[in-house]
Amino acid sequence: MASHLRVALFGAGRMGKRHGRTIALECPKATLVAICGPDLAAAEALASELGVPLATPDPATIFDDSSVDAVVIAASTSAHAQLIIEAARSSKEIFCEKPVTSDLVTTKEAIAAVDQAGVRLQVGFQRRFDKGCVAAKERIERQEIGRVEMIRDTMRDPSPPPPEYLPTSGGLFRDMSIHNFDNVRWMAGDEPEQVFAFGANLVDPIFEAAGDIDSSVVSIRFRGGGLALIDNSRRSGFGYDVRTEIFGSEGALFVGYSRETPILHFSDRGVTSDHVHWFLERFDDAFVKEIQSFVASIQNDTEPSVAGRDGHVAMAMAVAAEASIREAKPVDIDRFLV
């Protein structure tokens, strides 16, 4: 591997911009050489901002260029599978935003292509790089709370996404809870066995209209007997809420608070702190670190920190949660992992 990495980016939307800036500005040993997206104007604008020489709507331009070492896929979810497969075939290292693809069949195909090509695939579960989550995981591994027994994992957005986002989102479990599925599995250090879910439409009629739910509570049983609870909502009524509590045989760890600035305001209405409003702000550092880690894993020839398998299992948990609601019973994860 050349000591300096040449990276191409797919997607110039919200996450494309985030990852593009990281590669261009915060990875000294990598260069962003091309931005590819169906919205050429957006790709060109980002390329101009970041001093990237090439913007193109045509993925083949990237795949045919043997000087491109790696790709970062932040395109729409429906495009992931095809991009991963082609990137693998042209021997590019791959970072792909979560979810790997929108369903289990294509996820398996994509991972198979990656395995066959012998390239890396890192999945964009950025909580794996969050300062708080990483510190919790390290403390668990140092046995600070004994054996992990129970996990409570919460995530709620400040307000619903725009209606036009819903049809391509994949639904609450594949789009949002998938972060929690990966997180509880990571914190548990165990594989999930069974999942049960209740879903509800409480937030906005647009979700029901799209055949989706907007609120959910999910119970998970791990192979080793541990338990987890996940609750999600598309609207908090306050800021961005993402917290994890891990209970062990000898203590517990709580990860996450919601303050944006370290300020308390004392008034006749009480004592008030602010809260973080948006995931890009909450996970700003983690988004940078996951890309830096991807670049480092290539340059140091190590395994990526979050593998295709992790994306696969999280998707199976999401699909199992959907089945649990449909069938009104707990569902084995293995049914979706064969």
Taking residues 26 to 65 in sequence order and writing x for each that binds its own copies by CB under 8 A, - otherwise, the string is x-x-------------------------------------
CB 136 within 8 A of CB 212: no
Among 41, 105, 202, 209, binds its own copies (CB under 8 A): 202
Q: Based on the shown chain and the rule CB under 8 A, indicate whether residue 192 belongs to the binding site for its own copies.
A: no
Q: Based on the shown chain and the rule CB under 8 A, indicate whether residue 259 belongs to the binding site for its own copies.
A: yes
Q: Binding to its own copies (CB under 8 A): which residues in 157-186?
A: none
| Rounded least distance, CB 82 to its own copies, Å | 34
Between CA 327 and CA 198 the distance in angstroms is 11
Between CA 329 and CA 338 the distance in angstroms is 20
CB 36 within 8 A of CB 46: no
- The single-letter DSSP state of residue 174 is I
User: What type of residue sits at position 179?
Assistant: H
Among 90, 102, 107, 154, binds its own copies (CB under 8 A): 154
CB 214 within 8 A of CB 204: yes
Q: Which is nearer to its own copies, 19 or 156 (CB)?
A: 156
Q: Which is nearer to its own copies, 89 or 275 (CB)?
A: 275
Cis amide bond preceding 167, omega within 30 = no
Among 4, 14, 29, 265, binds its own copies (CB under 8 A): 265
Among 40, 42, 79, 200, binds its own copies (CB under 8 A): 200
Cα radius of gyration (the chain): 20
Helix orientation angle between 14-26 and 40-50, rounded to the nearest 10 degrees: 20
Segment contacting its own copies by CB under 8 A, of 62-70, 99-107, 210-218, 301-309: 210-218
Segment contacting its own copies by CB under 8 A, of 2-10, 119-127, 184-192, 264-272: 264-272
